[in-house]
Chain A
Amino acid sequence: QKEVEQNSGPLSVPEGAIASLNCTYSDRGSQSFFWYRQYSGKSPELIMSIYSNGDKEDGRFTAQLNKASQYVSLLIRDSQPSDSATYLCAVYNAGNMLTFGGGTRLMVKP
């Protein structure tokens, strides 16, 4: 079992809809959780970080964390074609290594 799991997609949503991206992790000791966005042929860039249970909002992005269920999600409201990218979930484990999931490819159709 991979330490960080994501559905590879593609997840296709119409422009203006809410995109919901999910991630599960195996290390119960993990404390820090991140979402990176990666456009095709580019390097990843951080878009959200979350450290405590609940929701964290930043503009059109909301990260949700449930440590009991070992689940973290990213919601993108009012999705735009420019949001089309691969979204990588990343988790710091107890050994202080940042482990990435395989990524979910999001396609926002005009």
Chain B
Amino acid sequence: NAGVTQTPKFQVLKTGQSMTLQCAQDMNHNSMYWYRQDPGMGLRLIYYSASEGTTDKGEVPNGYNVSRLNKREFSLRLESAAPSQTSVYFCASRGSPGTGELFFGEGSRLTVL
């Protein structure tokens, strides 16, 4: 059982380049999330999708776009990367609405030069 799978695990970009982080879950969860984690900042929500076909902004959405491709997949796109987007990105999924447990992927470490 793979759980939540993120790709790539590591990426180095130059300022202005674009890229997409992919996330897929095999737990049949409705809700999916993208967080970024910076030292001392905890996890900050970028975007989330409560169900297939819906997406909503979180705390720090600027500079990002998302696509909920189907129930399994939720991608995060950086259209024009900036050094401030250097971070570790976590995708997560959540089971039934009554539980708060998030299941996280292993993270994607992104460096923007």
Contact = CB atoms under 8 A, between A and B. Distances in A.
A88 B40 contact: no
A45 B42 CA distance: 14
B74 interface: no
B101 interface: yes
Nearest to B109: A41
Interface residues of B, number: 21
Contacts, number: 48
B102 interface: yes
A46 B101 contact: yes
Contacts of A98: 33, 45, 100, 102
B98 to A, nearest CB: 9
A102 B42 CA distance: 4
Contact of B58 (A44, A97, A101): A97
Query: How many residues of A sit at the interface, in one of the four size bands?
Result: 20 to 34
A49 B100 contact: yes
Given A97-B45, A100-B42, A100-B44, A46 B50 contact: no
A1 interface: no
Given A8-B40, A98-B100, A100-B43, A43 B105 contact: yes
A25 interface: no
A98 B101 CA distance: 10
Contacts of A49: 99-101
B58 A102 contact: no
A99 B59 contact: yes
Interface string B96-113: 000111101111000000
Interface of A: 4, 6, 8, 32, 34, 42-46, 49, 88, 90, 92, 96-103
Would you list the 9 A-B pairs with minimal beta carbon distance, nearest first? A43-B104, A102-B42, A100-B43, A100-B42, A46-B101, A32-B100, A103-B42, A34-B100, A101-B42
Interface of B: 33, 35, 40-45, 48, 50, 58-59, 90, 99-102, 104-107
